[in-house]
Amino acid sequence: MARRCSSSSNVAAALALASLLSLLLGLSHGQLQVGFYSRSCPGAESTVASVVRQAGASDPTILPALLRLQFHDCFVRGCDGSVLIKGGNNNAEVDNNKHQGLRGLDVIDGAKAQLEAQCPGVVSCADIVILAARDAVAFTGGPSFDVPTGRRDGKVSNLRDADTLPDVKDGIDALRAKFAANGLSSRDLVLLSAAHTVGTTACFFIQDRLYNTPLPGGGRGADPTIPPGFLAELRSRCAPGDLNTRLPLDRGSAGVFDTSILRNIRDGFAVIGSDAALYNATATVDVVDSYSGLLSNFFGPYFRQDFADAMVRMGSIGVVTGAKGEVRKVCSKFN
């Protein structure tokens, strides 16, 4: 009996050791973790932050653009840097109309050039996108938070892959379905849409909402859910056919990271249709209300922390790690 117990103990110990080795092997193959570059490139995160800070000092509008860039990368093929690839025949992901107006790629390129000089072949472009978005949030007055790194860059970038991106014209069912397909909840939909607390949009994205929405009685006109006074305000900024004039996404608070965008959505002052849609379903209207109340800052839910958590969840969509993918030398082209 003593021998059997000893033998069983040895087997259990061997299995435990195998499990531990398997875990360590998984980590050594690049699973996402906070501080992934702490040894291989200690200055990685501070370098990205410095580049983002300098870019924001020269042009504050680039900060919301960098935040948007993470969304546009992660929602197509996952967070693999595929949106950064520039194709020669307009067939790369970035050439899709869903990416229209995308900015900040030059900031990512600048950070990558500095990191290649410090630690050649170590820091992926996909991670730079995530770090730059995190820093852009902090530099607009939002929360500071840790993000896990260790992504590799993908090896595919196709024009049509971006067709699945959420659109400003999407209704609430389409928006929820697209977020769910990426493992994100209705609460994540509201939280990540609240990134519109900073930044602007072009009149191009609201022309149909102001002038060409199908009406219940037939014909086309303004979205009937827009309050009359706000409709007049929007039309005064965006005349018919005006595609380029820009206006704040968060009426009255476009330069500060806060919950004003959610109060605007609640009160009917959402600028783009996809934001307005958040108040058209119980699953999202309750979330909007929970964060836009005056007492939520004191008793919860806590918007800043929850937003940071949602950003981390989005940054984990479809990541490429370990031996998969590559670390590009230049972010705009495959090695």
| CATH number reported for the structural domain that contains residue 85 in this entry | 1.10.520.10
pLDDT < 50 positions in the chain: 1-30
**DSSP 8-state assignment for residue 33:** B
Asked whether residue 83 is assigned to any structural domain, the reply reads yes
Task: Judge whether 73 is annotated as a binding position.
Answer: yes
CATH of the domain at 294: 1.10.420.10
247, 238 in Cβ contact below 8 A?
Answer: yes
User: 282 with 294: CB under 8 angstroms?
Assistant: no
Residue 59's CB is within 10 A of a number of other CB atoms, namely: 12
For position 23, what pLDDT does the model report? 39
Is the domain of 237 the same as that of 295?
yes
Q: Is 332 annotated as a binding residue?
A: no
**Rounded (10°) CA dihedral 31, 32, 34, 37:** 70
Given 114, 147, 164, which residue is the final one in a domain? 164
Are 184 and 147 found together in one domain? no
Is residue 95 annotated as involved in ligand binding? no
Please tell me the total count of domains within the chain.
Answer: 2
Q: Do residues 179 and 292 both lie within one domain?
A: yes
60 a known binding residue? no
| pLDDT per residue as tens digits for the range 265-277 | 999 999 999 999 9
pTM for this structure?
0.89
Asked if 148 and 198 sit in the same domain, the reply is no
Q: Could you give phi then psi for residue 84, rounded to 5 degrees? A: -85, -15
Q: Is 188 annotated as a binding residue?
A: no
The predicted-structure confidence for 73-113, as pLDDT tens digits, reads as follows 999 999 999 999 998 788 999 999 999 899 999 999 999 99
Among 302, 291, 227, residue whose Cα is nearest residue 259: 291
Residue 99 designated active-site: no
Same domain, 132 and 189: no
Length of the chain in terms of residues written: 335
Q: Which are the contacts of 117, defined by CB distance < 8 A and separation ≥ 6?
A: none
Query: What six digits make up the tokens of 264?
Result: 């605007």
Boundaries of domain holding 285: 172-314
Indicate if 100 and 181 belong to the same structural domain. no
pLDDT at 89: 81
182 and 310 part of one domain: yes
Residue 87, token pair as written in the block: 């194709």
| End position of a domain, from candidates 164, 195, 219 | 164
Catalytic site residue from 45, 64, 70, 72:
72
